[in-house]
Structure 1
């Protein structure tokens, strides 16, 4: 079978580790990561950390990354799963109608979904988190709860096809279970095709 594609949703000011760790983990697992953003171009990622003595997040420039497809070009049927990266980008990209349409597809189809940090703002805005348990950074707890979701302060929260973490510090906890879901879905698909 051909390599299955998985979306990674970003915009300017997406968190570098939230984006690159899943990007490379997908490649290791034999999937093709496809970076999607408001338009096809190069995007500036950032690094976030709450420094000792600070009460807010400090931000530095991180690496850049190219978006392979724009939100308007996404045909969600072509993708095995989706990952909502964190950083500040979700604050403004969540309003994109094409992204909302794609987001709803993955929830309705029961495909593997990952979300970290501010990534929760996208499915929350798309009205996909009602009665769903999710991890996110504590300052996004309101975004989740006001849209009917249930905040869980843990490194990995699994709620059916939805797997989430709080910040990039949780990458080693929640990404593995998400990759496992993708692998199980791929194996089921291959078994169905062979039958």
Structure 2
């Protein structure tokens, strides 16, 4: 176990329909690097993980979105899955939570459909990003420079396309969380 993220606290924002591997692999990578990790969701209890459209494991929620602030964390992970970010992006508290990480210059890592939350938070303008292909147009319409690459890092914002990219995504997320604040990681809201 590495200790490069000792004394760091990382939030994972997810709800039912989260792509399980996009939650569990980054969770383990960040935890193994020494960070404290917390699962934040819309409601107390458990959330349902999926493998594409098949139900998988359930995960215990640590805190609800109305109980947290970006002030409490050093970084944020936004796993994908189609249903997960679609439900989160219509919740004002979840969108505000994401936006606050950018206002505070804190690193954020989003994979697959997770960048939908970045679109809703209006934090991708003039940023280089990647995502699942079906999110491409939304990101471009929100002002992002979308590229088809395994993993993209832009001033503390880490994005990847799909579960195949998880090794690079996890490595870069840990690296950015280790570096901490980025002056270019700013929401213009």
Give yes or no for TM over 0.5: yes
Q: Distance in 1 between matches of 2:35 and 2:154?
A: 22
> Which of 140, 146, 150 is residue 141 of structure 2 equivalent to?
146
Shift of 1:123: 1.1
Question: How big is the alpha-carbon RMSD for the aligned residues of Structure 1 and Structure 2?
Answer: 1.5
Match of 1:121 in 2: 116
> Which of 159, 170, 179 is residue 164 of structure 1 equivalent to?
159
Q: Distance in 1 between matches of 2:95 and 2:106?
A: 15
- Which of the two has higher C-alpha Rg? 1
Give the secondary structure class of the aligned counterpart of 2:18. Answer: coil
TM-score (norm. length: structure 1): 0.86
From the two aligned structures, give the one with the greater helix fraction: 1
Q: Distance in 1 between matches of 2:69 and 2:134?
A: 32
Query: Which ranges of structure 1 fall in alignment gaps of 5 or more residues?
Result: 49-58, 187-195
Moved over 4 A (4+): none
Q: Does 1:91 align with 2:86?
A: yes
Shift of 1:183: 1.6
Match of 1:8 in 2: 12
The number of residues matched between the two structures is 176
Shift of 1:2: 7.2
TM-score (norm. length: structure 2): 0.89
Relative contact order, higher structure (CA 8 A, sep 6+): 2
Query: Which ranges of structure 2 fall in alignment gaps of 5 or more residues?
Result: 182-189
